[in-house]
Structure 1
Amino acid sequence: MAEASSEAPTAAEVRPPKQVIYCGVCTLPPEYCEYGGTLKKCEEWLSKAHPDLHDRLYSADATANSLSTLSVDAQKRAEKDAQKKAAKAEAAEARESEKRAASKIYIKRVERNKRKFVTEVSGLEQFGLDLKKIAKEFGKKFATGSSVTKNAGGTGEEITVQGDVSDDIYDWLLENHEEIPEDNIELIEDKKKKAAA
């Protein structure tokens, strides 16, 4: 068994840790993005964030070098696989955009007691928004209580804000989230039914 040296390594012997870059889209190292389903988006992110690494991985020379080591059959299979992955990614992106275009955000003003109201906001998760973060922002912006709760049907979650702030929430969403079309936001007023005397 080799004996361990009791002396500490010198500065020349100690190497600094290697810096690893992770993709901002799929969170894998860029060398492995091709194995995920979002290669096109990953490549766009890499070209903006790290152009030198993008040139090294996706330049024509790099692609030619990696393909030259494969056999002819393997090259054909690799091309077919790449085309299939690209088609799948485009189809998924199209489905996602259609889903977003069809989904609605409902801002509902609900009467609790005589002059007390709460505002319920549902449908934000369809646009990729974090409900807890938005609820916290609503609480700060409107100086009121705000929480994420299960909706009446139990199928999803909604944000409940104390007070009648439906118009303010509508304006805030349009100002701060351009990805949400104005036509997809709907204001609803829900009044309590009065008991027959």
Structure 2
Amino acid sequence: MADVESGEVLEPQSRHVVYCGVCTMPPEYCEYGGTVKKCQEWLEKNHPDMYIRIWSPEALAAATASLSIEAQKRAAKDAQKKAAKAEAAEKKEADKIAHSIVTIKRIERNKRKYVTSVSGLEAFGYELKKVAKDFGKKFATGSSVTKVPSGGEEIVVQGDVSDEIEEFILEKYKDVPEDNIEFVDDKKAKKAAAAAAGGS
């Protein structure tokens, strides 16, 4: 009050809040998410002082000191279960990504007119509409997301840019391994089907 009476104006003090780079919650709440281990690693690397305050053995002991022995055992068991669950989920996601294939297909529409379709990028965590926009800018052509009969979605780019698209994907979308990209030439597939039909 003395400051107000003297006419001195106090500026509001801003408060700096740290948010986890993994789960985006304040680090004090990371334990309630499914990525505790990754959150701890991120915090230890980026804010070691905060990591010590929250996750050091002393801090954990102080937090559980007021609990009964049974409650401490339950808390430890719950923490182990959460960690095991999070690890299993991470492993499952890694396996899914390792076995996901990005298919680049060159499709003949009319005589010497082609479109290039790309499917499978969503498995690597990319938003297809954003990727389609990137393709359109890069190749200065029309690019859109369309539904496929099997129920998924694919990106259709006007023109035959199948070779350039692979290079662009490897350059810009680093999560996609080169071994997980496959080419399909729809024209060859049609000719093979026609030949098989004609030969029988």
RMSD, matched Cα = 2.3
Partner of residue 20, structure 1 = 17
Q: Distance in 2 between matches of 1:193 and 1:186?
A: 18
Of 168, 171, 175, the residue aligned with 1:175 is 171
Q: For 1:50-129, list aligned pairs within 5 A.
A: 50-129=47-126
Q: Distance in 2 between matches of 1:66 and 1:156?
A: 48
Q: What displacement does 1:90 show?
A: 0.8
Counterpart secondary structure, 1:112: strand
Q: Distance in 1 between matches of 2:8 and 2:34?
A: 45
Q: What displacement does 1:193 show?
A: 5.0
The answer on 1:160 being equivalent to 2:171 is no
Q: Deviations over 1:142-182 (max 9, x none)?
A: 111111121232x1211111110111111222223332222
Counterpart secondary structure, 2:67: coil
The answer on 1:145 being equivalent to 2:142 is yes
Structure 1 18/168 Cα, relative in aligned 2: closer, same or farther at 3 Å? Answer: same
Q: Distance in 1 between matches of 2:46 and 2:130?
A: 26
Structure 2 unaligned regions, length at least 5: 195-200
Moved more, 51-60 or 159-168: 51-60
Moved more, 88-97 or 21-30: 21-30
Identity across matched positions, percent: 63
Q: Distance in 2 between matches of 1:19 and 1:80?
A: 34
Q: Distance in 2 between matches of 1:173 and 1:82?
A: 39
Q: What displacement does 1:28 show?
A: 1.4
Counterpart secondary structure, 1:69: coil
Q: Report the number of matched residues.
A: 188
Q: Distance in 2 between matches of 1:62 and 1:87?
A: 22
The answer on 1:186 being equivalent to 2:182 is yes
Query: Which amino acid in 1 is paired with 2:128?
Result: L
Q: Deviations over 1:107-128 (max 9, x none)?
A: 0111111111111100000011
Bigger helix share: 2
TM-score, length basis structure 2: 0.85
Partner of residue 42, structure 1 = 39
Structure 1 16/121 Cα, relative in aligned 2: closer, same or farther at 3 Å? Answer: same
Of 129, 132, 145, the residue aligned with 1:132 is 129
Query: Which amino acid in 1 is paired with 2:13?
Result: P
The 4+ residue runs of structure 1 with deviation greater than 3 A are 192-195
